[in-house]
Structure 1
Amino acid sequence: MHEIQKRQAKKTSMLSAAFDNQKKALYASARKQAKEMSREGVAYLENLKSTLLDMRKDEVPFKSYLNEVTPLWQNREAPLSTLYDNYQSDMNDLFVRRSQATNDASGMIRANPERREKSLRQHMANARKELDRCHEKEIESTDASKLVKHYKALLHTA
């Protein structure tokens, strides 16, 4: 009985030692990977920092854009007022003409409801005829396709 216990203890200590060795190897590997990741991260951040500094050097300051745009903005009043003075009557008349055209079209629709209904029915009939014609063409092309396939099959068997 004592010998069995010794064997059990020896076996347990061997398993425990193997487990400890695996654990130590795992921890060592994890430490090594963590150091590598840390080094890579620092290198990446340094590279990013240098890239950002390079981009900052190439950056055009806002004031230079502002200095270019300000004269254009200040000089816009004279051309716009000239344009408005030249075409003022056309611009004012444009809205009146558009409103008048819309009102005329609305009045025509209200004034001739029978004519509008007749036109609507005629367009619906024409659309129906076109749909029927397209459907017939589709059927004919399907039938022709089947006929061609049938003749090909006959030629291959002969």
Structure 2
Amino acid sequence: MVSKNTICLWYDGDALDAAEFYAKTFPDSKVGAAQRAPGDYPAGKEGDVLTVDFTVMGIPCLGLNGGPEFQHSEAFSFQVATDDQAETDRLWNAIVGNGGQESQCGWCKDKWGLSWQITPRALIAATTDPDRAAAKRAFDAMMEMKKIDIATIEAARRG
């Protein structure tokens, strides 16, 4: 059954590669059907993969090989809540190590330009601490990071 709401992500000919990377990297992710173009289109030829159905952490997505006209931006990102430093490191390193790039405060981009927030649950707990001074210390520590270091966040929270 087709989901009532599916995220459509635009790629420049490599939607299937992206879907396969997401499926091997993130839990509860898989690649579904790839639909081939029934005729030539501006970004490809008859028989090229036009779209691919995939799921990222339970979220239905459609990869569209629409060509180079549109690029991903930070205005859209997947935010991934991690349970510990090992999971944070594994996901961050998978994205960055596969041609991606680091950004600030737990953000990174995959090699297709899609933004990801690799966000430890400990970071959210620290920056929403009812003790506003503790929350600010944790927030200030986060602002200095690329990949989030949970031990540093927790130490800042404690003061």
**Range class of TM-score, shorter chain:** under 0.3
TM-score by length of 2: 0.12
Higher helix proportion, which one? 1
Higher strand proportion, which one? 2
